[in-house]
Structure 1
Amino acid sequence: MIRTLTFAAILLASTAALAENSKPQPVPHVDTIPAAKDIPYPGTISLAIDATDTRRAIFKVKEVLPVAKAGHMVLLFPKWLPGNHSPTGQIEKLAGLKISANGKPVPWTRDPVDVFAFHIEVPAGAKALDIDFQFLSATAPGQGRVVMTPNMLSLQWQSMSLYPAGYFTRQIPVEASVTYPEGWTAASALPSKASGSSYRYDRTNYEVLVDSPVIAGRYYKAFPLRPRVTLDVVADTAAELAAKPEQIDAHKALVDQAVKTFGSQHYDNYHFLLSITDELGGIGLEHHRSSENGVKPGYFTDWESSTPARDLLPHEFSHSWDGKFRRGADLWTPDYRTPMRDSLLWVYEGQTQFWGYVLAARSGLVSKQDTLDAYALVLASLGNTKGREWRPMVDTTNDPTMAMRRPKGWSSWQRSEDYYNEGLLVWMEVDAILRRQSNGTKSLDDFAQAFFGINDGDWGQVTYTLDDVVATLHKLVPLYDWKQMLTQRLTETGAPAPFAGFIANGYRLVFTDAPTPYFKLNEKDRKFTDLSYSVGVIVGKDGGLVSVVWDSPAFAAGLDNGDTITGVNGFAYSPEKLKEAITAAKDGAPITLLVKKGERIETRVIDYKGGLRYPRLAKIGTGETGLDRLLTPR
């Protein structure tokens, strides 16, 4: 009997094993958010912002949105943000949302897929929706960028408004007003009229509004640079506003050199919105008629030490032409819900990186020698980027969407947004080829005028494709396969970093045992010790490893990002002790490190005998080179 039952149990278990597991089917989703159409919105949005709660960094928003009919409607919070190249709208900081019409609440429902969208039913007879909410901005860096302090603020309209789905943003009229703290001054490319602490901005469209951010502060000063260009500065203290005439002259020269380079102006007025602060979050973000720029205290008052920060304004200003006026066709979108495609960022950011360095040197904001030393850092860093073995440069244009500028553990292997600096190298090679193929009569300046200098005064957008870039180069130098050259540089893997443009333009990368002054300033500014080009580490001020270069001697020794060096050859860690050990290792001495990893203390020995290595550019031959001519003022 027992035997019979056992057999039956085995049979039952076998049958159960053959039965299929449960297999659900997906719940269908119907997108009820209307696609953007190029038609006028019937009415003008009224937007009123209270920006006076600087203690708690809370912006209070009241919005009146006219409606033409009853029924289903979708309101959107901006998601895909120009300049960020990614879906980084801060929807999580929107709070207290209440919508009403004719004094009665209008319920809202968040879209189950697109959480930036709110569905409502407009009641019969309603002429407008009254919308109230708060934007709870960051009060500490761990919550995101800090945009409000007791002495200044950065107001970005996309965080302070909802807009109706179904329309190109350029077709949505809006009138905005802001109340700032008493005694503050506000600056923006969007014209306004001030009455005490209240500013009423000119009627515009939603696209231009979002592209016209504001800085405001207790300590403010405006420096006219040209009839249509102003440097607007806010600072933590009044003392930081003390700019010398020659410093402002260099900023004036930046504007002059940019206009000469591009041969046009794509703005009716332009404002450099500059915050000098260690409290407000740092930023460098382009807009068509302005730029948001954040630097640390000392920009004017410690001019000699602020060199690494002084290529920020040239870069962002160049974007008025490259990125805002001329924009990659797959990057331009009709609203802030449509995904951006970043495949042409090697033009948008790469060539802007190229012109940022050039214009900094041409204007005198940065000396020629410091510019050469900055280039050396760019070349050396890309030479250390082992990720070029497997990942092509064009694929890094996906990084803003993939990583959203979050830190990476092994950036030298994973790669990051290399379309900036490797894009610079590609455009330097284009410049060198133009010079060679034209016997010195053409350069990238000619490309800039032909490509970005069209339609003087137009501050709309003209889009382009790779074929448009190639066609412009062909007009300058017809008998060269530009498409093949660019395609190779964009897609190649396993090849060394493309230094050919610098070499052809008369400079090569070398390493010495002493850092350049620019290198030392960069270390001081970023508060680390950079030994990337010897043992392969960047060390923070407390001994923590900021970066370990993939396949470097430090990597081979088992060091990891996040480790902390506590000892060097029997002594407590200091940058000097580590450098001494690296130098002594040339004669066979060990480099023995005591390393803290979590709660563990480990000993790591680095096998390296190459000594200290710091990058710089060395001139090839004598006489004026292509790079010399490139950095010469026009």
Structure 2
Amino acid sequence: MPSALHYTLTISNWRAHQFTVALHIPEHKDSSLTLTLPSWIPGSYMVRDFAKSIIRLSATLSTSHIENSSDENSDSVPVTKLDKQTWRVETDGKPCTVNYTVYANDLSIRSAFMNDQYAFINGTSAFLRVSGFEQSACKLDIELDDSDPSTANWTAYTSMPIRSESTSSKRWHYAEKNYDELIDHPIYVGIADTHSFDVDGITFTLLFSGNNNIDYPRIARDLTPICKHHLDLFGAPQPINNYLFMTLLADNGFGGLEHKHSTALLYPRFDLPQIGEGENKTDSYITFLSLCSHEFFHTWHVKRIKPEVMVKPDLSQETYTNQLWIYEGFTSFYDDVTLARAGVIEPQKYLDIVAQNVSRLLQNAGRFKQSAAESSFDAWTKFYKQDASATNNIVSYYTKGGIIALGLDLLLRKRSNNQVTLDNLMQLLWKHYGVDECGTPDNVIQSLCSSHFGIDVSDYLDRVVYGTDDVELAALVSDMGVNYNTRTRVSADDKGGFSQLPSIKNQLGATLKAASFGLTVVQVFEGLAAMKAGILLNDVIIALDGHIVTAQKLQRLLDNPQTSTVDITLIRDGRLLTLPLEITRARQEMAYFEITDEEKLNKWLGK
């Protein structure tokens, strides 16, 4: 096996959003080397072409064995770019160092970003893959530019194993066993707040960018039973000893991306509990806890239990699977139900969250056109590259997958006289496919249920996974002591769940946002009044029946019309138009659940 690769990552110029990498490659048998940078990052199924951020790349031969790009005895060698993400370096088999600069200005959890407080870097954006060295050990040094006093207080954080203790406050040393493991550890270098807590002998570290007034002990207390639930579900021995929740704080933004020993999160800073605010859990804070629950669940379910094609995916191009409804869908079920099981939220609050998910589906005409399996397969384009028509044409494998998982749990209980649950299925997935990371076939759910439980669920999956039927929640949730109902929305901001506010009477069938004058149309829903009237995306609605409108006034006029058809006035591409709008009764597309038997519900939750 070839000797280790050695990467040196230097935070060189945050003002220009740039870092540099020096990659030392030892002696090798081939006369040339092929270098590639991934085009996508595992867990986020869209080609992002990370190589577009490489500004310059060069290579030198070294006549010494010193792993240093500034070796005085080095000579430049030819580098040929073969395609958008691939380079060939002519080395004649000799040791060489490849130097390149990367632009980092994508504030997300999928790429790389730098500002005056920190640098955040994913390995897929930073580390070139060397052909023939894929299974070689990888060393990594991270260093700060000695000449920049603004980074004097910065520190490096990552879940990557430490190779040796740092002898400098500006240098850190890590190592991984191969390239795939190297790129699975996001890196944070900068100013941060950290707080650690232990669960079952595993150390969890919370990291938040910058210095903040956030109540970290409270977050740790709330996350402790959530982490405990996931650890208990999959059982010993655990695949981790340490885990890092790495959160980038911003004014706006939301996201999470799983890794084997950490997760990278993006979240609004003031949606988190501040010191001295008390114990009330806002909806935004509950969403953060659910996001943490979701990404930590992926430690088993996605990072180790995974589709066959994702065991060794080709990161240079799309890798297709129709199983994402199993992976993101099941995880979407567990992220919220765990909060209720752990007592972090009340059962009714959990039911309201489920109702909001169901409500999103009920508004989505695309669920009749695309199955959850098809949504999984088409994630690369239709899900990750949504436009304003998405709600009419596609379905989310996250949202529907979560409802499918809830229905499957209830179905397994019903057909086994409460002897089998979705938890049992998850444990089988871990035992047979996760421990050895051997990859699941497309029919894994049907196969495990049949062979281990003697339960045939193919009829259910044919309807709701491979077909476009809705999950029959009304018939299933009664077994957990709950009634399922639908209602009309109470306002444009209505997300679903139980509400005592008065419902709207009539429905426009479009999503609007305030403009400098009037209301801009950002979505038009199939089968409702707006589309029938010919209202289009980006139209600006200014009046109804001659009355200038705001969002509130528009709804009031719709609910109290004088005739069955009204005139709606709008601006389209600089033209003033008036269209006839048929008054249409509001649909019952908001779901809510009522608890009918608390004892049954608590038993279902395992409380």
TM-score range, shorter chain: 0.7 to 0.9
Distance 1:139 1:362 in 2: 36
Give the AA of the match of 2:35.
L
Q: CA deviation at 1:623?
A: 4.7
Distance 2:44 2:460 in 1: 28
CA gap 1:297/1:544 in 2 versus in 1, 3 angstroms: farther
- Contact map agreement 1:563 1:596 (CA 8 A) in 2: yes
Q: CA deviation at 1:566?
A: 3.4
Gaps of 5+ in 1: 1-39, 522-529
Of stretches 54-63 and 404-413 in structure 1, the one that deviates more from structure 2 is: 404-413
Name the counterpart of 1:362: 341
Match of 2:232 among 257, 260, 270: 260
CA gap 1:423/1:532 in 2 versus in 1, 3 angstroms: farther
Deviations 1:100-150 (Å, cap 9, x if unpaired)? 2132222222225xx3221232226x2x22111111122689xx9672222
Name the counterpart of 2:508: 535
- Contact map agreement 1:284 1:291 (CA 8 A) in 2: yes
C-alpha RMSD over aligned residues: 3.2
Match of 2:292 among 307, 310, 313: 313
- Contact map agreement 2:506 2:585 (CA 8 A) in 1: no
Residues 70-81 of structure 1: pairs in structure 2 closer than 5 A: 70-81=30-41
Name the counterpart of 1:579: 555
Match of 2:403 among 414, 421, 425: 425
- Contact map agreement 1:60 1:134 (CA 8 A) in 2: yes
- Contact map agreement 2:205 2:244 (CA 8 A) in 1: yes
Say yes or no: does 1:57 pair with 2:17: yes
Of stretches 536-545 and 495-504 in structure 1, the one that deviates more from structure 2 is: 495-504
Name the counterpart of 2:65: none
- Contact map agreement 1:380 1:509 (CA 8 A) in 2: no
Higher Rg: 1
Name the counterpart of 2:426: 448
Deviations 1:596-620 (Å, cap 9, x if unpaired)? 3332233344423435967242337
Match of 1:272 among 245, 261, 272: 245
Match of 1:434 among 406, 412, 431: 412
Name the counterpart of 2:70: none
| SS of residue matched to 2:522 | strand
Distance 2:505 2:56 in 1: 48
Deviations 1:45-66 (Å, cap 9, x if unpaired)? 1111122522221111111112
Distance 1:82 1:386 in 2: 29
Residues 115-126 of structure 1: pairs in structure 2 closer than 5 A: 115-123=84-92, 126=94
Of stretches 98-107 and 469-478 in structure 1, the one that deviates more from structure 2 is: 469-478
Name the counterpart of 2:462: 487
Say yes or no: does 1:136 pair with 2:103: yes
Residues 597-612 of structure 1: pairs in structure 2 closer than 5 A: 597-611=572-586
- Contact map agreement 2:102 2:126 (CA 8 A) in 1: yes
Distance 2:492 2:556 in 1: 18
Say yes or no: does 1:67 pair with 2:27: yes
Q: TM-score, structure 2 length as denominator?
A: 0.84
CA gap 1:517/1:366 in 2 versus in 1, 3 angstroms: farther
Say yes or no: does 1:234 pair with 2:208: yes
| SS of residue matched to 2:229 | helix
Deviations 1:460-503 (Å, cap 9, x if unpaired)? 6231113433232225531x32234323322214x446546446
Give the AA of the match of 1:331.
M
Name the counterpart of 2:66: none
CA gap 1:474/1:139 in 2 versus in 1, 3 angstroms: closer
Deviations 1:545-575 (Å, cap 9, x if unpaired)? 3322222222212222333333455454433
| SS of residue matched to 2:495 | helix
Residue identity over aligned pairs, in percent, reads: 19
- Contact map agreement 1:345 1:397 (CA 8 A) in 2: yes
Name the counterpart of 1:156: 122
Say yes or no: does 1:328 pair with 2:317: no
Name the counterpart of 1:510: 486
Say yes or no: does 1:562 pair with 2:535: no
Name the counterpart of 2:71: none
Give the AA of the match of 2:34.
V
Name the counterpart of 2:80: 109
- Contact map agreement 1:49 1:179 (CA 8 A) in 2: yes
Give the AA of the match of 2:156.
A
Say yes or no: does 1:473 pair with 2:449: yes
Say yes or no: does 1:247 pair with 2:213: no
Match of 1:177 among 141, 150, 153: 141
- Contact map agreement 1:595 1:603 (CA 8 A) in 2: yes
CA gap 1:409/1:203 in 2 versus in 1, 3 angstroms: closer
- Contact map agreement 2:490 2:504 (CA 8 A) in 1: no
| SS of residue matched to 2:119 | strand
Say yes or no: does 1:595 pair with 2:554: no
Q: CA deviation at 1:316?
A: 0.9
Name the counterpart of 1:36: none
* Number of corresponding residues: 567
- Contact map agreement 2:60 2:75 (CA 8 A) in 1: yes
Q: CA deviation at 1:326?
A: 0.5
Give the AA of the match of 2:232.
K
Gaps of 5+ in 2: 63-73, 145-150, 498-502
Distance 1:510 1:133 in 2: 57
Name the counterpart of 1:25: none
- Contact map agreement 2:313 2:319 (CA 8 A) in 1: no
- Contact map agreement 1:582 1:612 (CA 8 A) in 2: no
Say yes or no: does 1:413 pair with 2:402: no
Deviations 1:427-476 (Å, cap 9, x if unpaired)? 122111111112122211221222225699x5x62311134332322255
Q: TM-score, structure 1 length as denominator?
A: 0.81
Deviations 1:287-317 (Å, cap 9, x if unpaired)? 1111111110221237525233432111111
Give the AA of the match of 2:325.
W
Distance 1:213 1:602 in 2: 52
Say yes or no: does 1:519 pair with 2:486: no
